[in-house]
Amino acid sequence: MNRLLASLVLVGTLTLSCCSAVQAEDAFTRTEDVIYGRKFGTALTLDVFAAKENRNGAAIVWVVSGGWFSSHDAINPGPIAEYLRRGYTVFAVVHGSNPKYTIPEVVEDMHRSVRFIRSRAEQYGIDPNRIGITGGSAGGHLSLMQGTAGTLGNPEARDPVDRQSSRVQAVACFFPPTDFLNYGKPGEIALGRGILAGFKAPFDFHEFDSKTKSFVAITDEEKIQAIGKSISPVNHATADDPPTLIIHGDADKLVPIQQAELIIEKLKGAGVTAELVVKKGAAHGWPGMDKDIVTLADWFDKHLQKN
């Protein structure tokens, strides 16, 4: 793993564990390695955290991802202590990870995870219509993809999980990429290039050739950019998207704050409740992010209230 990738993984998944207000372990339960899906014979898993008392009936999906690298080892209660304290049930989702899987494949994992969670609402004591999602960096990008591109289930699907919607009711995240074709400035392509040149694997798009029975790299630039457009949340923003909050540092060189500005403008233009909190002088992560998680929790409190 190169140094740049290691840095983003650290920020996206582990740095948030700096939170000082870690809830006493006897105040919540943790169910590890719940299988929410399978692909190519491999299990996809999530961990479920639930307060033992005063649950509020709402759920938060925590996208465990940095640089689209996802690992069960990165899950700890530090980043979600505030949510547990407020009574949320938190689902820490591990997706198919870079470098093995590309972003389009990861997006499908996230759809599956939300469908699974909604299908088990009664089991976990949550309201299927009060699901929020959060993450940082790549986890923020995937949170926004779920917020803007979540889909209704297929009522005719053989698997009952696939009959469920993958839409969420609120998004709150940190410093997310939102437009890979206009990254930092108009026309700047970052599909494993430019600023994101150190992250080639997540953008190593390929397709299955039925004749050769093998996966082949997609090299046609038009196809590559079409995929890049499809995995950019800014291109999916519509009036029915959920309330969205982004916290972003204005000195971030890895994910320029322009990325947050673009999607907030697009969401507001569509009539969606959206807010950008700018951290002056902050780069890609900063000390004291636990205080900002309180801001995210307040957002979920406001927009995941019981009707």
Percent of all residues in the chain with a pLDDT value above 70, rounded to a whole number: 92
Residue 128 has pLDDT above 90, yes or no: yes
Residue 74 inside a domain? The answer is yes
Residue 9 has pLDDT above 80, yes or no: no
Residue 45 inside a domain? The answer is yes
Mean pLDDT, rounded, of the chain? 92
Residue 169 has pLDDT above 90, yes or no: yes
Q: What was the pLDDT predicted at 26?
A: 78
Residue 145 inside a domain? The answer is yes
196-235 pLDDT tens trace: 999 999 999 999 888 888 988 999 999 999 999 999 999 9
**Mean local confidence (pLDDT), 81-101:** 96
**Mean local confidence (pLDDT), 104-114:** 98
Residue 3 has pLDDT above 60, yes or no: no
Confidence of residue 27 (pLDDT cuts 50, 70, 90): confident
Q: What was the pLDDT predicted at 25?
A: 67
Residue 221 inside a domain? The answer is no
**Mean local confidence (pLDDT), 41-57:** 94
Q: What was the pLDDT predicted at 209?
A: 86
Residue 154 inside a domain? The answer is yes
Residue 18 has pLDDT above 80, yes or no: no
Residue 35 has pLDDT above 80, yes or no: yes
Residue 212 inside a domain? The answer is no
Q: What was the pLDDT predicted at 80?
A: 95
**Mean local confidence (pLDDT), 227-249:** 98
CATH number of domain containing 44: 3.40.50.1820
Domain count, the chain: 1
Residue 14 has pLDDT above 80, yes or no: no
Confidence of residue 24 (pLDDT cuts 50, 70, 90): low
Residue 136 inside a domain? The answer is yes
Residue 127 inside a domain? The answer is yes
Secondary structure string (H, E, C) spanning the chain? CCHHHHHHHHHHHHHHHHCCCCCCHHHEEEEEEEEEEEECCEEEEEEEEEECCCCCCCEEEEECCECCECCHHHCCCHHHHHHHHCCCEEEEECCCCCCCCCHHHHHHHHHHHHHHHHHCHHHHCCCCCCEEEECECHHHHHHHHHHHHCCCCCCCCCCHHHHCCCCCCEEEEECCCCCCCCCCCCCCCCCCCHHHCCCCHHHCCEEEECCCCEEEECCCHHHHHHHHHHCCHHHHCCCCCCCEEEEEECCCCCCCHHHHHHHHHHHHHCCCCEEEEEECCCECECCCHHHHHHHHHHHHHHHCCCC
**Mean local confidence (pLDDT), 10-25:** 48
- Range with lowest mean pLDDT among 7-21, 135-149, 247-261: 7-21
**Mean local confidence (pLDDT), 284-289:** 94
Domain range for 116: 3-179+237-303
